Amino acid sequence: AEEVCQWFYEGRNGWWKYDERSNFELENAFNAGDPDCTLLLAGTLYNIDFQTMTQVRRSDQTRRRRVRRDTPSFPSKGIAGIKTD
Ligand code: V3L
């Protein structure tokens, strides 16, 4: 059976899925045993730390969100800021 994991970042009242490319990069880094992963998201560099399971802006450490690795069916608000009711 195919096992697919989806990464999520926290919004105000729920979780957003990362876009497909970011999810691919997160899975690759996580499965390689890397401690973290750097992503360019909407023109801004973020670091996703797999120990603390948080996403933080590299230029402003106060911009921090929780992240989670779960099944794609875990309830979400949408994908990368695009709502999917
Ligand atoms: N992927 C896409 N956009 C992101 C991501 C990401 N992983 N992380 C942050 N942003 P900050 P509600 C989010 C966007 O953390 O109503 C959602 O995608 C972030 O977008 O302070 O609170 C929604 O579009 C925000 O616009 O660096 O659930 C929006 O918030 C901006 O980067 C509202 O979601 C600054 O985030």
The pLDDT of 25-38, averaged and rounded, is 98
Q: Taking every pair of C-alpha atoms in the chain, what is the biggest distance, in angstroms?
A: 41
pLDDT for the residue numbered 2:
60
Which of the residue ranges 2-11, 17-26, 61-70 would you say has the lowest mean pLDDT?
A: 2-11
Report the separation in Å between the CA atom of 2 and the middle of ligand 1, taken as the mean of its atom positions. Answer: 30
The DSSP secondary structure of the chain, one letter per residue, reads: -----EEEEE-SSSEEEPPHHHHHHHHHHHHTT-SEEEEEETTEEEEEETTTTEEEETTEEEEEEEEEEE-TTS--SEETTEE--
Report the separation in Å between the CA atom of 9 and the middle of ligand 1, taken as the mean of its atom positions. Answer: 8
Give residue-wise pLDDT tens across range 40-84.
999 999 999 999 999 999 999 999 999 999 999 999 999 999 999
Kindly report the pTM of this predicted structure. Answer: 0.96
pLDDT for the residue numbered 1:
54
Q: Residues with beta carbon inside 6 Å of ligand 1?
A: 9, 11-12, 16, 18, 41-42, 57, 63, 65, 77, 80-81
User: 47 to each of 8, 9, 55, 61, 79, how far by Cα in Å?
Assistant: 14, 12, 6, 10, 19
